[in-house]
Chains A and B, each alone.
Chain A
Amino acid sequence: MVDLELKRDRIVIRFGTKKWEWVLEPRYWRNTLIWAVILFLFPTVSYFISPGLINTMISANIYAAIAMPLALMTIGTGRMNFGPQFYIGVGGYTAALLSIAYGWGPLTTLPFAILMSMIAALLFSPLVIMARGLYYVLLTLLLPLVFLEVTFIYTDIFKGDTGLFGIVPLLDTGNAKNNFLFIGYFSTVIMFAYLWIINKVLKSRYGLLMAAINDDEDVAHSIGVNINKIKIIAFVAASTMVGIIGWFYAHYFSSFAGITYLPLTFMLKILLVLMIGGRAQVFGCVVGGYFVAFLEMLMIRFMGPIQPLVFPIILLILLFILPEGLFGLYRKRRYREYLPTIHVRR
Chain B
Amino acid sequence: MWSYIQNVVVFAFVMGSIYLLIALGFSLICGVLRIFHLGYAYIFPLTVYGTWMLMMTLEWPLIPSILGMILIQFIVAILIYKGMIKKYLATEDVLLTALLLVALIVEQAANYFYPIQAGVYLETTLAEGTYQIGEAVVPKQLMIGSFIALAMTAAFVLFFIKTKTGMAIRALSQDIYSSKIVGINVETLYMFTMMIVLLPVIIGMLIVAPVWSVEPGMGWMYMVTAILVAVLGGLGNIKGTIIASFLIGLAHAFVSFVLGEPRFMNLSALILVMVILVIRPQGLARSESLW
Chain A positions within 8 Å of B, measured between CB atoms, are 80, 82, 126, 130-132, 134-135, 137-139, 141-142, 145-146, 149-150, 152-153, 263-265, 268, 271-272, 275, 279, 305-306, 308-309, 312-313, 315-316, 319-320, 323, 344, 346
Contact = CB atoms under 8 A, between A and B. Distances in A.
Given A142-B270, A312-B104, A316-B101, A137 B278 contact: no
Nearest to A325: B94
B267 A153 contact: yes
Contacts of A306: 112
Contacts of B21: none
A271 B281 contact: no
Interface string B51-93: 0000000000000000000000000000000000000100111
A264 B97 CA distance: 11
Interface residues of B, number: 39
Contacts of B98: 316, 319-320
Nearest to A343: B91
A63 to B, nearest CB: 15
A105 to B, nearest CB: 33
B109 interface: yes
B184 interface: no
A145 B224 contact: yes
Interface stretch (B142-150, B155-163, B227-235, B239-247): B227-235
B101 A319 contact: yes
B112 A305 contact: yes
Given A135-B235, A139-B274, 8 more contacts: A139-B273, A142-B227, A145-B224, A308-B112, A316-B98, A316-B102, A319-B94, A323-B91
Contact of B97 (A132, A271, A308): A271
A137 B101 contact: no
16 contacts: A130-B278, A134-B30, A134-B36, A137-B36, A139-B273, A142-B224, A145-B224, A149-B263, A149-B266, A149-B267, A152-B263, A153-B267, A264-B103, A275-B94, A309-B109, A309-B112
B263 A308 contact: no
B289 to A, nearest CB: 16
Interface in B266-288: 266-267, 270, 273-274, 277-278, 281, 283
A165 to B, nearest CB: 23
B100 A268 contact: yes
A138 B36 contact: yes
B197 interface: no
B264 interface: yes
B105 interface: yes
A134 B91 contact: no
The CB with the most chain A CB atoms within 10 A, among B88, B93, B102, B111, is that of: B93
Contact of A312 (B36, B108, B231, B278): B108
Contact of B277 (A130, A152, A268, A323): A130
Contacts of A315: 101
Contacts of B264: 153
A319 B30 CA distance: 23
Contacts of B104: 264-265, 268, 312
Given A137-B96, A141-B38, A146 B91 contact: no
Nearest to A345: B92
A254 B220 CA distance: 29
Nearest to B261: A153
B260 to A, nearest CB: 13
A346 B30 CA distance: 14
Contacts of A80: 92-93, 96
Nearest to B34: A134
A80 B93 CA distance: 7
Given A141-B38, A149-B266, A312-B105, A275 B97 contact: yes
